[in-house]
Chain A
Amino acid sequence: MNHRIDILAILGSLFLCFLILELIRKKRLMERYALLWFASVLIITLFAVWRSLLDKLAAVLGIYYAPSALFLLALFCGLVLVLHFTLVISKLTEQNKTLTQSVALLKNKVDSIAEHVQCE
């Protein structure tokens, strides 16, 4: 039986795990955003290593070729991650808007105070 795809999946997962750890270590990735990544990698690795579990899952889902289930799972994890990013972006946009408004209001206030001081 050909196990090349399983080996590839394991290698890929390990590489991703290493990459995430390295990015956190270099403080380029915040831990709180890495958690979802780790969860995804863990799930994929688990299924790649534990072939019988993958076979069971494939059987339940009615998928004939088991590694396809792995891809389905990976795709799902990817989608969850992307959704998570849009959540983060939305939050950042909202915070950015509030900050922009505050800065503009403060600048207006500072300018008017400075004008008063000059007049006196």
Chain B
Amino acid sequence: MQKILMIVPAYNEEKNIRHVIADLRSCNVKVDPLIIDDGSMDNTAKVARSEGADVIVLPCNLGIGGAVQTGFKYAFENDYDIAIQFDGDGQHMACEIETLIKNVVEDKCDVAIGSRFLTATDFKSTFARKLGIKIFTIINSIIIGQRITDNTSGFRAYNRPAIKFLSRNYPDDYPEPEAIILLSKNKFRIMEVPVKMQQRQHGDSSINTLRAIYYMIKVVLAILIGVFRNVERKD
């Protein structure tokens, strides 16, 4: 039986977190939910604890990258075989975990990415967001020589070598597309798995229209520089 950790980064998600934890408990696979409270101003940590989840409270806000990396460090220190990244805003579905981890459990890949776009889904979004996602697909696919359809997906599963690697190297803000380049360059096997996702239940996504331009420039720059970075994996 493999030990599976759910890394759930949460920033001001007191309205969503209870539902997320309940959802994780209803999952067919036995998982340990770990909520990373990224310096929330609301009662995220308190609500999560009252639901019986393990909670790590970051004393100051590190952003999604630093928060998720804390989860990798925890998973590595506590001998987890698999770590799954799962958003605390309720858009990921626990019933998809079994599908997501299958290839990682069977050692067909080191990293599994839950993709919204592998099969025709009713994913609704703005034109700008769709364009951004398309740009990432093109850039990343050219760089790593493998077609990745959902580069911004935060629903991912990692095996132990990947956990160990990411606990030391993980990009800072908006880390998802960049992490794919980093992992691929360091010879980790990446696979995409079709999953369904929900629209957010409460609150706003961390990316609003104003930040979108900064987001695109920052991530594309990080990706392109990532190509010229040295390979860091030494195991």
Residue positions of A touching B, CB distance < 8 A = 97, 100-101, 103-105, 107-108, 112
Q: Whole-angstrom distance from the CB of B37 to the nearest CB of chain A?
A: 9
Contact flags B56-80 to A (C-beta < 8 A → 1, else 0): 1111101000100110011001000
Residues of chain B within 8 A (CB-CB) of A107 are: 56-57
- Say yes or no: A105 contacts B73, CB within 8 Å: yes
Contact flags B40-68 to A (C-beta < 8 A → 1, else 0): 00000000000000111111101000100
Residue positions of B touching A, CB distance < 8 A = 36, 54-60, 62, 66, 69-70, 73-74, 77, 172
Q: Whole-angstrom distance from the CB of B121 to the nearest CB of chain A?
A: 35
Q: 5 A-B contacts, Cβ less than 8 Å apart?
A: A100-B60, A100-B62, A101-B70, A104-B58, A108-B56
The distance in angstroms between the C-alpha atoms of A103 and B62, with both chains bound, is 13
The A interface, classified by DSSP as helix, strand, loop or mixed, is helix
- Say yes or no: B59 contacts A108, CB within 8 Å: no
Partner of A101 from B54, B55, B62 at Cβ < 8 Å: B62
Residues of chain B within 8 A (CB-CB) of A105 are: 56, 70, 73-74, 77
- Say yes or no: B54 contacts A104, CB within 8 Å: no
Apart from A104-B36, A104-B57, A104-B59, 12 more pairs, CB < 8 Å: A97-B62, A97-B66, A97-B172, A100-B58, A100-B59, A101-B62, A101-B66, A104-B58, A104-B70, A105-B77, A108-B54, A108-B74
